[in-house]
């Protein structure tokens, strides 16, 4: 008897979640079973240093609808999401974090909105985020800067949690660039979308793996990968400096012709050297960052490497 393809695929990257995997699977199963019996849960262990993989193995042994993917090392959240999407088969796919701040009980609300409103994907809007003030501030600042650089509006209350139809998932996984940002890629592919307000829960176990350094690196990667505006801004800055330098030169020549300048001071000379030197180094640094990202991309290495799988060996 041929198996029925899943109607829903739930993809969740797992990192430092040893104490919560069992509860995650239980709550997803309870919530999604009210929608359809034909679903799959794909848990992608992203090189976690704890026993998260052991918990995933236990969950897979108890329910064949739970699938496991263990990456060879820690590639990052968005790479783990890609690994799960590559193996998903559902007509609709849910992407959610493993820490249960994204609550599985909200899946039905988003799916109903997508189907009734004929939307290709529906994103969860966390109207009352249960995160620290620092994380909320960094998130708000990042999305404001990203919106400015890309020319597209990004909502700081929206992250990975959402429901996506098959067409959107196929479009996202067709993008095989080295730098991955799932929300940004979803924004880029287009299609009809809307948001639904959901309740955001407090983190019950552990702390976020995104410290300040990782947030800065992630933000820098995304900005360089999805915008060339920093390069254009350096050109504008160069023109502005050249314009004012030209005016200053004309003014200096005028004063010299009138005999009002006897000895040129070294203060202005050294100030100009330091200013221009710093700007040149900064501009070269921006260009160098872009060249570095190009260098990473042309290596054409795999986006991620899989060490083990459970329940999906027969797939692509």
Residue 7 reports pLDDT greater than 70: yes
Average pLDDT over residues 241-263: 69
Tens digits of per-residue pLDDT, 35-52? 989 999 999 999 888 889
Dist. CA 225–CA 188, nearest whole Å: 12
- Predicted pLDDT at 218: 66
Give the model's confidence band at 271: pLDDT under 50 very low, under 70 low, under 90 confident, else very high.
low
Tens digits of per-residue pLDDT, 76-103? 888 999 999 999 998 999 999 888 888 8
Pick from 118, 69, 134, 126: which is nearest to 102 by CA? Answer: 126
Give the model's confidence band at 268: pLDDT under 50 very low, under 70 low, under 90 confident, else very high.
low
Dist. CA 266–CA 68, nearest whole Å: 68
DSSP string, 205-271: SS--S--HHHHHHHHHHHHHHH--HHHHHHHHHHHHHHHHHHHHHHHHHHHHHTT--SS--HHHHHH
- Predicted pLDDT at 278: 66
Give the model's confidence band at 69: pLDDT under 50 very low, under 70 low, under 90 confident, else very high.
very high
- Predicted pLDDT at 38: 92
Exposure string for 146-173, b = 16+ CB within 10 A, e = fewer? beebbeeebebbbbbbbbbbeebbebbb
* Least confident segment among 60-64, 189-193, 203-207, 246-250: 203-207
- Predicted pLDDT at 151: 63
- Predicted pLDDT at 266: 46
Tens digits of per-residue pLDDT, 97-143? 888 888 889 898 899 998 888 899 988 887 765 556 666 666 666 66
Average pLDDT over residues 182-191: 85
Encoded tokens for 225: 């990968």
- Predicted pLDDT at 150: 62
């Amino acid at each position: 008897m041929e198996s029925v393809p899943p109607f829903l695929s739930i993809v969740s990257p797992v990192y430092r979640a040893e104490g919560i995997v069992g509860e995650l699977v239980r709550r997803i199963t309870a919530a999604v079973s009210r929608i359809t019996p034909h679903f799959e849960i794909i848990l992608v262990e992203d090189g976690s240093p704890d026993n998260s993989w052991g918990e995933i193995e236990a969950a897979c042994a108890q329910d064949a609808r739970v699938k496991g993917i263990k990456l060879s090392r820690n590639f990052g959240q968005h790479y783990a999401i890609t690994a799960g999407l590559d193996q998903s088969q559902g007509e609709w796919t849910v992407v959610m974090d493993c820490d249960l701040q994204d609550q599985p009980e909200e899946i039905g609300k988003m799916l109903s909105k997508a189907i009734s409103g004929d939307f290709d994907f529906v994103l969860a809007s966390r109207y009352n985020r249960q995160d620290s003030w620092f994380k909320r501030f960094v998130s708000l600042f990042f999305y404001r800067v990203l919106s400015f650089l890309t020319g597209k509006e990004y909502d700081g209350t929206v992250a990975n949690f959402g429901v996506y139809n098959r067409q959107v998932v196929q479009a996202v996984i067709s993008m095989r660039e080295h730098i991955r940002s799932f929300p940004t890629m979803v924004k880029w592919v287009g299609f009809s979308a809307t948001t639904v307000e959901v309740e955001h829960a407090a983190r019950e176990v552990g702390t976020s793996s995104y410290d300040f350094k990782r947030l800065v690196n992630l933000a820098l990667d995304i900005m360089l990968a999805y915008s060339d505006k920093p390069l254009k801004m350096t050109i504008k800055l160069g023109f502005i400096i050249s314009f004012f330098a030209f005016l200053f030169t004309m003014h200096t020549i005028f004063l010299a012709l009138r005999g009002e300048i006897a000895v040129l001071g070294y203060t202005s000379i050294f100030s100009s050297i330091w200013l221009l030197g710093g700007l040149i180094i900064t501009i070269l640094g921006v260009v160098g960052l872009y060249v570095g990202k190009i260098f990473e991309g042309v290596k054409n290495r795999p986006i991620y490497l899989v060490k083990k799988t459970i329940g999906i060996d027969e797939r692509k």
